[in-house]
Amino acid sequence: MANQTDLEAEFQKELQAFENDIDEVVQCFYIWRTVHAAARKSRRVYDSLNRNAGFWNVAIGSIQANSLIALGRIFDHSHDSHNVKRLLKLIERNPAIFSKAALRKRKEKDLANALHLLDNVMKDVKEPTLSDFKWLDEFVKQRRKIYGKCYKQIRDKHYAHKQRGGVTVFVAQSDRAELAKLVTDLNNLHGAIWHWYRNGVKPQKLKPSRTAGKDVVKRTEKFIRSLP
C-alpha cells in the first residue's frame, strides 16, 4: 500500500496534468474566439486576415482542434490516461490527503519561519466528508453532460477521425457562450481542488474566480491591433 507521501505526490501529478489541459483549452478557445470577434467588428482586421487567409485558416483551425482535443483528454474515461475521472477517483479513495493532519504537515513546511501562525491558520479547517466528494462528482457529471451532447461528437467526427469540415464546422455547431462557461467552470474546479488541498477551503465554499481567459483575450487583442 502506498504511503501518504507517495499518494500526495501522485495526487499533485494528476492535478498538474488537469491544470495543463485546462490551460490549453483556455488559451486555444479564447484566442480563436477573440480573433473571430475582432474580424466581425473591424473591417481593417477582416481585410488583414483575408490577405493571409491560408495561414489564418490553418492557424485558427489548429487552435480550435487543440481546444477540443484537450477537452477530450479532460473527460476521457480510460484508466491509463490523465483525466478528471482519474483525479476524482484518487481523491475519493484517499480522503486522508485532505485531512486536517495532512494539511497541518504541509502548512508546517510553508510556515517553517512563522509557526506561531499555524494554529490560527488551522482553526477553521474541517475534515473532509462524503458530501464533499459527492459535490465534486456532481459538478463534473453536469459538465460532462454539456461536453457530451455536442463537443464530443464534433471532436470525434471532425478531429479524432479526421473528417474535417473546415473552420466553419466548429463555429457553426458550437454555442460559444456555453463553451465559455464550460471552460470557466473547469478552470474554477481546478482552483477549488487546489485551494482545498493547499488551504483546507472546501470546494463548495470557494467563490468562483473571474472568467477564465480574460488575460488571453487582452494579449490576443493587443496582437491583433499590431497587424498591418
pLDDT at residue 160, rounded to an integer: 53
Cell 477549488 sits on residue: 192
Task: Find the mean pLDDT for residues 71-96.
Answer: 91
Please answer whether residues 167 and 57 qualify as being in contact, where contact means their C-beta atoms are separated by less than 8 angstroms. Answer: yes
The domain ranges of the chain are: 4-225
- Residue with C-alpha cell 492535478? 15
Query: What single letter denotes the amino acid at residue 98?
Result: F
How far is residue 204 from each of residues 96, 120, 122, 186, measured CA to CA in Å? 18, 22, 18, 14
Query: Does residue 219 register a pLDDT over 50?
Result: yes
Give the whole-angstrom CA distance, residue 49 versus residue 65: 19
Mean pLDDT of 9-26: 95
Convert the pLDDT of each residue in 178-217 to its tens digit. 888 899 999 999 999 999 999 999 988 767 666 778 899 9
Q: Which of 8, 200, 190, 191 is nearest to 97 (CA)?
A: 8
Instruction: Tell me the whole-structure pTM to 2 decimals.
Output: 0.86
